[in-house]
Structure 1
Amino acid sequence: MYIVTGGAGFIGSNIIQALNQRGIDNILVVDDLTDGKKCRNLSDLNIADYMDMHDFLNAIKSDSLALEVTAIFHEGACSSTTEWDGKFVMDVNYQYSKAVLHYCLSKKIPFSYASSASVYGSGPVFKEDRSQENPLNMYAFSKFQFDQYLRRLLPTIESQVCGFRYFNVYGPREQHKGSMASVAFHLRNQILAGENPKLFGEYDGYEAGGQSRDFIYVEDLVNTKLWFLDNPQHSGIFNLGTGKAEPFRTIAETVIQYYGRGEIEYIDFPEHLKGVYQSFTEADISQLRNIGYEGEFRGLAKGVTDYLTWLEQHG
């Protein structure tokens, strides 16, 4: 049995799709479906069972999960970068992750989890090294602290444990995320509503629309994670981005070109994001390449075009 926590979410459901494409459907989805809209991410996928996140936590703590587990993909988290309830964020992102980790270690189950590029703060160096890490918000701190916890254990770990610091992920099955969905998704909605696509104006030394991130297409991210599943000899904390920063302007230009209408409209940079916003990210993926991963990452214009095509086909 494969277990995907956060399996009804954006990245979790894409992992399930990739496993299905390999002919694997003995999958247990763990999630919180209070937001029932997420069920749409599972409607075209094949799974064996579903379990509420709280029931799953109780089961692994009491060692009553009567399953032979092949691997766990731990994607479940509070992913809001604007959530400042520290107790809630640490309970969900840190304490829960520790429980799943120790369950896997006790049974030598391969464990893969979602960390975040937000641990680096404002950068400018994005390399898996403590000297470069400076989380700016509660979400980032929770991910950073779990990475730190794992680092202390890595020298003694006998089974595979991989943490992936996701950079800006975009692509299919993120519609339920609301304000936390990708910029590509929001700009498309603005165009379809008859509006101009809106980007932040000049800020932090960057020209209007020039703030840049390392944007990775979700299919490319999942392919990387499955490579690790096939290569259980590799453990550690790895950046997962393309290795190339591209400006938000490229997304807007691609959406405009795809639909043949609109022009970029710049808005004032929001006050509440000042000081806690990453104006630039670019993954150093040398560690990923050094262990032998040779997979390709599509550029932003190609990825956004692929995503828009998927959205047109799936509504």
Structure 2
Amino acid sequence: MIIVTGGAGFIGSNIVKGLNERGRDDILIVDNLTNMVKFKNIQGLKALDYMDKIDFAEALKAGKFNHEKIDVIFHEGACSDTMEYNGKYMMQNNFEYTKNLMHFAADRKIQMIYASSASTYGSGAHGFTEKPECEEALNVYAFSKLFFDNYARRYFGKTGSQLVGLRYFNVYGPQENHKGKMASMVFQMYNQWKAEGKVKLFEGIDGYGNGEQTRDFIYVKDVVKVNFFFWDHPELSGVYNCGTGHAHTFNTLAKGVLKHFGSGTLEYIPFPDVLRGKYQSYTQADTTKLLEAGYDGGFTDIDDAVAEYCALLDKTGGYYKYEA
């Protein structure tokens, strides 16, 4: 059996899709469907069972999984809202839950690959390398992720089983509809055009021109490839960046969306005060450690990925459809 927490979420459901493509459907999806829209992410996928996150945590604690044969745990379940200010809630979801699952996996020699975040690099002023001197949390979400990374560092290579944290950079692609304001800019710009016939971006800040802020945008299909690379190499443990190593401007994304529709305008709007001092104007993963580990799966060209994603949004609304 394979466990995917957050399996009805964005990256989690894409991992389930990838597992299906590998011929695996003995998958336990763990999630919280309070946001009922997420059911659409898994109705097109094949899985063995579904369990609510709270029920799963209680079952773990009660030892109900102690004798199950579990190959790997992909732990994508977390509160991913960077604007969530309830620190207690964030630490319960992103630290305590992950810590308990890590010890369960370590005690039973189960591979575990978990979602960390590039937000652990703060403003990026000190670089984007997997080293403490580069790390800084600008909000409680980033703190919860960084605090667990530091906790996990005590155990890398010492438990007899794999433990890998992947610091996701700016992920975009199918199955993110439920994320609302936290969905990728590609998704938001696509829907802006559908509603208004134009695309909106923030004006320049921190010395950047209008729409010229840059991010390391990574297609979700490539995120799945990186996860599976580590699954296929159980000898590897540690924190690794999961980005392309190349930064692109928001203007690049906008032009890709406008190209898809063949018309429309690009409008720049004032930068919101609520994001000042909490916004990454530049991110670019240092992929040295990832490549030195042996990853050679490459990354999808950003223009090709945006075109493919927009085409799927046209066809299915951005969801995968079940294929028997």
Structure 1 and Structure 2 fold alike (TM over 0.5): yes
Partner of 2:49: 49
Superposition deviation, residue 155 in structure 1: 4.2
Give the superposition deviation at 1:63: 1.3
Q: Secondary structure at the match of 2:198?
A: coil
Deviations 1:163-204 (A, max 9, x none): 000000000000111111100001010111133200000101
Distance in 1, matches of 2:294 and 2:259, equals 37
1:23 aligns with 2:11: no
Q: Structure 2: how far apart are the matches of 1:147 and 1:311?
A: 35
The letter of the residue matching 2:42 is: L
Q: Distance in 2 between matches of 1:67 and 1:55?
A: 16
After TM superposition, the structure 1 = structure 2 runs for residues 1-315 of structure 1, keeping only pairs within 5 Å, are 1-65=1-65, 66-124=67-125, 125-315=127-317
State the alpha-carbon separation in 1 of the partners of residues 64 and 298 from structure 2: 41
1:234 and 1:198 map into 2 onto residues whose CA distance is 42
Q: Supply the distance in 1 between the matched residues of 2:226 and 2:80 (Cα, whole angstroms).
A: 21
Asked if the contact 2:214/2:250 (under 8 Å) is kept, the reply is yes
Aligned to 1:264, the other structure's residue is in SS state: strand
> Are the equivalent residues in 1 in contact too, given 2:165–2:238 (CA < 8 A)?
yes
Separation in structure 1 between the aligned mates of residue 158 and residue 296 of structure 2, nearest angstrom? 28
Amino acid at match of 2:217: F
Q: Distance in 1 between matches of 2:157 and 2:73?
A: 20
Q: Distance in 2 between matches of 1:155 and 1:12?
A: 25
The alignment's TM-score, normalised by the length of structure 1, stands at 0.98
Superposition misfits of 4+ residues, deviation over 2 angstroms: none
Consecutive unaligned residues in structure 1, runs of 5 or more? none
Equivalents in 1 of 2:211, 2:301: separation in Å?
18
The CA deviation string for residues 42-70 of structure 1, in whole angstroms up to 9 with x for no partner, is 11101000111011111112212252111
Say whether the 8 Å CA contact 2:116–2:167 is kept in structure 1: yes
Alpha-carbon distance in 2 for matches of 1:270, 1:195: 22
Question: C-alpha distance in 1, partners of 2:68/2:35?
Answer: 27
Cα distance in structure 1, aligned partners of 2:69 and 2:200: 49
Helix, strand or coil for the counterpart of 2:73? strand
**Secondary structure of the residue that 2:30 maps to in structure 1?**
strand
Which amino acid letter does the alignment assign opposite residue 314 of structure 1? T
Query: Quick one: percent identity of the two aligned structures?
Result: 50
Q: CA deviation at 1:88?
A: 0.3
Give 5+ residue unaligned stretches, structure 2: 318-324
Q: TM-score, normalised by structure 2?
A: 0.96
How many residues align structurally? 315
Q: For 1:265 and 1:299, locate their aligned partners in 2 and report how far apart those are by CA, in whole Å.
A: 25
Q: Amino acid of the residue matched to residue 134 of structure 1?
A: E
Deviation at 1:77, TM superposition (A): 0.4
Could you tell me which amino acid in structure 1 is paired with residue 6 of structure 2? Answer: G
Letter in structure 2 aligned against 1:272: V
